[in-house]
């Protein structure tokens, strides 16, 4: 049973890690908590249902299900990235030099707007994923691993490794330079505005993939799932060390494992509370998070 819960926890934690990356990337660049990021994940789930439903009606899923799923993910990434780009330009860029409280309130406003926007356009009731993937599974160490679980873990691992490798590219180095000192980055020729927009676009794209994976895994979505997942992913980012990409990955995995094993061995009624208890303990011991580093405040 323990190994089964580990598999379940890795599946859930992989999704949390992907969403947490968006939080930690934006914080690393702007030192801003994008509380609307969870709603981008929610939009990704709805877009997955919409586009796969269209492809099912067209008969593409019967012809080639992998192609239909691939196109669904690509389209969800495109539209969510567009939402992320627009959100940064409209809600955050005008407040970049404002007091810290102003962009925070703006982020909460965007979150509420997107929740109500989806509720009005898609309805307040749950939406069902149009295709139920087969329950084929593998037996490994007395645990059952479904193909969908394996796919979610594999896709999440590929995305996290790709993002880690991206940091070593020219654009990735520009992002790290912008996060370290925007003024000096601009002086050496880096377009700071473009880098910030790119950060929002990448984070939104990752959230879109997480949304499609969760919609296919649970089979139901509603306009409120972004709030719950967003809070948990933010917790994962803080747990691993806000601003640290490896920390966000580690925090997401730990969060998923804690939630899964706690629900199995203690009580499923309090599964949302276990992660926050561990978070409080970690922050009391190491306030900067597991992989975070304490930085002196600039004066």
In this predicted model, what pLDDT tens digit does every residue of 142-184 receive, in sequence order? 777 888 888 899 999 999 889 888 888 889 899 889 888 888 8
CA quadruple 238, 240, 244, 245: dihedral sign? negative
User: Where are the extended beta strands (E) located within 6-140?
Assistant: 127-128, 137-140
**Tokens matching residue 33:** 């908590």
Residue 129 gets which letter from DSSP? -
Burial class (CB within 10 angstroms; exposed 0-12, middle 13-18, buried 19+) of 120:
exposed
Calculate the CA 184 to chain-centre distance.
30
For residue 128, report the phi and psi dihedrals to the nearest 5 degrees.
-100, 135
Radius of gyration of the chain (CA): 19
Nearest 10 degrees: CA dihedral of 216, 257, 39, 292? -140
Range of lowest pLDDT (120-124, 125-129, 205-209, 290-294): 290-294
**Tokens matching residue 230:** 């967003």
Global confidence as pTM: 0.89
**Tokens matching residue 134:** 């087969």
| 244-260 tens-digit pLDDT | 888 888 989 998 898 88
pLDDT computed for residue 136 by the predictor: 63
Give 3-state DSSP helix, strand, coil % of the chain, rounded to 5.
75, 5, 20
pLDDT computed for residue 7 by the predictor: 87
Specify the pairing of strand 220-221 against strand 143-146: unpaired
pLDDT confidence band for 284 (50 / 70 / 90): confident
Task: Check whether 296 has a pLDDT greater than 70.
Answer: no
CA separation for the pair 185, 141 (Å, rounded): 51
Average pLDDT over residues 120-128: 90
What are the residues whose beta carbons fall under 8 Å from the beta carbon of 71, sequence distance 6 or more?
51, 55, 60
Task: Check whether 138 has a pLDDT greater than 80.
Answer: no
CA separation for the pair 125, 123 (Å, rounded): 6
| Alpha-helical regions (H) of 181-224 | 182-187, 192-218
Q: In what helix (H) or strand (E) does residue 145 lie, and over which residues does it extend?
A: strand 143-146
Strand partners, 221: 127
Q: How many residues does the chain have?
A: 299
């Amino acid at each position: 049973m323990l190994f089964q819960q580990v598999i379940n926890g890795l599946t859930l934690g992989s999704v949390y890690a992907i969403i947490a990356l968006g939080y930690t990337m934006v914080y690393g660049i702007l030192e801003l908590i994008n509380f609307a990021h969870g709603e981008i994940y929610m939009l990704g789930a709805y877009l997955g249902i919409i586009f796969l439903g269209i492809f099912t009606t067209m008969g593409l899923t019967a012809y080639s299900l992998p192609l239909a799923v691939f196109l669904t993910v690509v389209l969800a990434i495109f539209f969510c990235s567009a939402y992320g780009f627009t959100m940064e330009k409209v809600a955050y860029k005008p407040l970049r030099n404002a007091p810290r409280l102003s962009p925070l309130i703006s982020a909460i406003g965007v979150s509420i707007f997107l929740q109500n926007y989806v509720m009005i356009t898609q309805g307040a009731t749950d939406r069902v994923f149009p295709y139920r993937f087969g329950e084929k599974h593998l037996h490994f160490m007395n645990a059952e691993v479904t193909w969908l679980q394996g796919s979610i873990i594999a896709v999440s691992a590929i995305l996290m490794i790709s993002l880690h490798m991206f940091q070593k590219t020219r654009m990735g180095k520009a992002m790290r330079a912008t996060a370290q000192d925007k003024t000096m980055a601009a002086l050496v020729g880096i377009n700071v505005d473009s880098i910030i927009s790119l950060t929002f676009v990448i984070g939104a794209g990752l959230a879109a993939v997480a949304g499609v994976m969760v919609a296919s895994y649970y089979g139901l979505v509603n306009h409120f799932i972004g709030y719950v997942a967003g809070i948990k992913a933010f917790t994962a980012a803080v747990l691993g060390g806000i601003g640290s990409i490896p920390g966000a990955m580690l925090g997401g995995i730990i969060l998923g494992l804690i939630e899964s094993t706690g629900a199995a061995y203690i009580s499923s009624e309090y599964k949302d509370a276990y992660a926050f208890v561990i978070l409080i303990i970690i922050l009391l011991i190491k306030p900067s998070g597991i992989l975070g580093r304490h930085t002196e405040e600039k004066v």
